[in-house]
Structures are given as structure tokens and as C-alpha cells.
Amino acid sequence: MLTETIETVPIRSSEDIVRVRQKVRFHADAMGMSLIDQTKIITAASEIARNTFEYGGGGELLLEILRDGARRGLRLTFSDEGPGIADIEQAMRDHFTTGGGLGLGLGGAKRLVNEFDIKSQPGEGTRISLIRWK
């Protein structure tokens, strides 16, 4: 699989969450993703960017284009150095929240993409990778 890094986007404010959505929309469209696929990856990116900002204390998004034979995909890797997630399995359940939200962020984001990976340790931050194939 070939990987091409496109750019890194800081996530330090609510304005940066909007910027994440705009960047993901631009690159998904440039790849030729359908409107439905664009909407899915933008929605997932928005949820994870918001978590990165609100719960991780800010972080960054790495955007990459993947090529695997004839397949092309967009990989989004969100990372922060926040408090981490003590129980990933519980955090992935719908309606689980440590904040005031609906608790659909992680599980909902996972359902919107083709591949989802999360790594987190308490006190060491969180890294979440999303891939949507065209």
C-alpha cells in the first residue's frame, strides 16, 4: 500500500473543527468520492475532531491518501496528548459519555468509515485512525 501525506491540521479551537471539516471535504471531493461517502467521512471527522478538542485538550489531524492497487482511500489520523480513555470498549458503546453529549461520537464515527482504529492509554493520550475507501 502506498501512502501520501497531504497535510497536518492543528486542532486547538472550535474554529479548527470547522477547518477539519473543510479540509476533509476538499480532499474527499478531489479524490472523486461520491457525495454520500464525502458526507460520511466529513461527519466522522467532525465527531473525532470535536472529541480531540473537548476531551483530549487539542491535538492534530494527519490527512493521507492511500493507494492499494486500484483502490484509493483517505486516512485521517487524529492524535492528542490528553488524559486518554480508560475503557475503550465502554467508550465505543452508544450513549456512553463523560461529557454532556449524546454519546454517539466514537461508535457513530466507526459506523461511517470502512476502517477504524483506536489506541489510548490513560495519561498518554489517544490516537484514532479512520479510513474511507473510494
Q: What is the pLDDT of residue 89?
A: 83
Amino acid code (one letter) for 93 = R
Tens-binned pLDDT, residue by residue, of the chain (134 aa): 899 989 999 999 999 999 999 999 999 999 999 999 999 999 999 999 999 999 999 999 999 999 999 999 999 999 999 999 888 888 787 655 555 544 457 998 999 999 999 999 899 999 999 999 99
Nearest 5 degrees, angle CA 80-CA 88-CA 3?
A: 55
Note the Cα 66 to chain centre separation in Å: 15
Q: Model-level pTM? A: 0.91
Domains and CATH numbers, the chain: 2-133 (3.30.565.10)
Distances (CA, A) of 119 to 9, 37, 42, 62, 88: 20, 25, 21, 15, 8
Report the alpha-carbon distance of residue 41 to residue 23 in Å, rounded: 11
**Dihedral-angle region of residue 125 (phi above 0 means left; psi in -120 to 50 means alpha; beta otherwise):** left
